[in-house]
Structures are given as structure tokens and as C-alpha cells.
Amino acid sequence: MPKMATKAAKNVFYKARIAAASWNDKLSSREGAAEVTGIDRTRLANIELHDLGARKEKAHRCPAYHRPADTQDGM
């Protein structure tokens, strides 16, 4: 199991990915999440670190995490 993030720990998408890892082990890491979602792992990191240009990828990733695309994340 990967270690917990420090900078992204409060991000709603990071929390959703970690929660989703309970039923899909690939989602426990950004590399595995990249395989599931088709989004590059570095882009996932940017999304989880509140990159403001990531709206399109967030909407694409939400179904894999079982979260609605309009989830509020403070951005």
C-alpha cells in the first residue's frame, strides 16, 4: 500500500481515490488510477494538488471513483 499523501490529503479527489481503492486496488496509487481513468499519473497529481486547469479530467475520472462530476472541492 502506498504511503499517505501529505499535500493532497485534504483534496476531495484524493480522498475519493483512496476510498475507491477499497474495491479496486489499482486506485490505491496514482499509477494504477492512471490505468483505470486513462489520465496521466502526473496529471492526476496536479488534479489532487488543486491544479485549476483540471476540470475536464475531473469529470472523466469521477465515474471510476463513484463520485459525481460536480463534487465540490473548494476550487
DSSP 2-22: PPPPSSSTT-HHHHHHHHHTT
2-25 residues labelled b (16+ CB within 10 A) or e (exposed)? eeebeebeebbbbbbbbebbeeee
Best CA proximity match to 57, nearest among 67, 66, 65, 47:
47
Would residue 55 count as lying in a domain? yes
Task: Please give the average per-residue pLDDT across 47-64, as a whole number.
Answer: 66
More reliable by pLDDT, 6 or 37: 37
Q: Which domain holds residue 37?
A: 23-65
Give the pLDDT band (50/70/90) at residue 30. Answer: very high
Would residue 40 count as lying in a domain? yes
Tell me how far apart the alpha carbons of residues 36 and 23 are, in angstroms, rounded to a whole number.
13
Would residue 14 count as lying in a domain? no
More reliable by pLDDT, 8 or 16: 16
Number of structural domains in the chain = 1
